[in-house]
Amino acid sequence: MILSALGRSPRPVTPNEHTSGSSTPDENSSEKMPGHERLWRLVLAVAIVGGPLGYAVGSILIPAVHEDGATSIAANAAANPITNAMHLVAYVLASFLLPLGAVGLAYLAYARAPRLATIGGLLAVVGWLPFSALTALDDVSMAMAALPDSGSYATLLDQFANDAVMGGYLLVYIVGHLVAYVLLAIALRRARVIPRWAAWSMIASSPLTVAVFVLPGRPLVLGDVALTLLVIGSIPAARVMAGRHRLSNP
């Protein structure tokens, strides 16, 4: 229903139409889009790249990543207040853009790979929705660090971060978005919307993210690499979405 509300589904592109491995449906259609559809497409194009980009910026600037309450509060207290505020702003923007971007990716792949696009799109939307709650947890940590005797709030922060509600949000977030980008990348490649390198870039972001938390020493740099790959892999899809011509039905 969401996909049909955005206009016609993109038509599949045959190998004869494009030999570089990625499709540019906009070059093969002369039908101009109405203004309202162009607005939707521009919003989704921004979301496809802007969501992962905001997430990447916020993750680079975040003072603590899934640490205990005492460590998180101490890290926020020691962090530069400007960069810490920037990390929150980036995360807040990403929390709005990421679900929209997932809808956009599913829309692009729907005509040629409807099942994968539907499953991947739904998983991505559901997986990204809890990101707002997780961002609020960062905000709480930052607020506690600014209070007198901030260390006394560590137990409260631990109880809040590890209760059933936040734990459920975290589980849905992890499983949902990591599986979703693998499925969406396969669907987009099958639909010839993005080149092979972009699909592999998106796919590789998921196992690299998992590696951060399973490898000894928690190499957080792998998380930054994963998000960078996701941003890079999303660019071709955003470019197609932002095209000036309507995408035709098969």
Give the tens place of pLDDT for each residue, 52-88: 999 999 999 999 988 898 999 999 999 999 999 999 9
- Confirm whether 13 is domain-assigned: no
Residues 179-228 pLDDT 10s: 999 999 999 999 999 999 999 999 999 999 999 888 888 898 999 999 99
Whole-number pLDDT of residue 31: 60
In a domain, 11, yes or no: no
Residue 111 lies in a domain: yes
Could you tell me if residue 194 is inside a domain?
yes
Domain assignment present for 250: no
Q: Where does the pLDDT of residue 109 fall: very low under 50, low under 70, confident under 90, or very high at 90 and above?
A: very high
Indicate the number of domains in the chain: 1
Alpha carbon distance 53, 44 (integer Å): 14
Q: Which domain holds residue 35?
A: 2-6+23-241
- Please give the model's pTM, rounded to 2 decimal places: 0.82
Percent of the chain predicted with pLDDT > 90: 72
Res 30 pLDDT > 60: no
Question: Considering the domain boundaries, does residue 201 fall inside one?
Answer: yes
> Does 87 reside within a domain?
yes
Average pLDDT over residues 3-13: 45
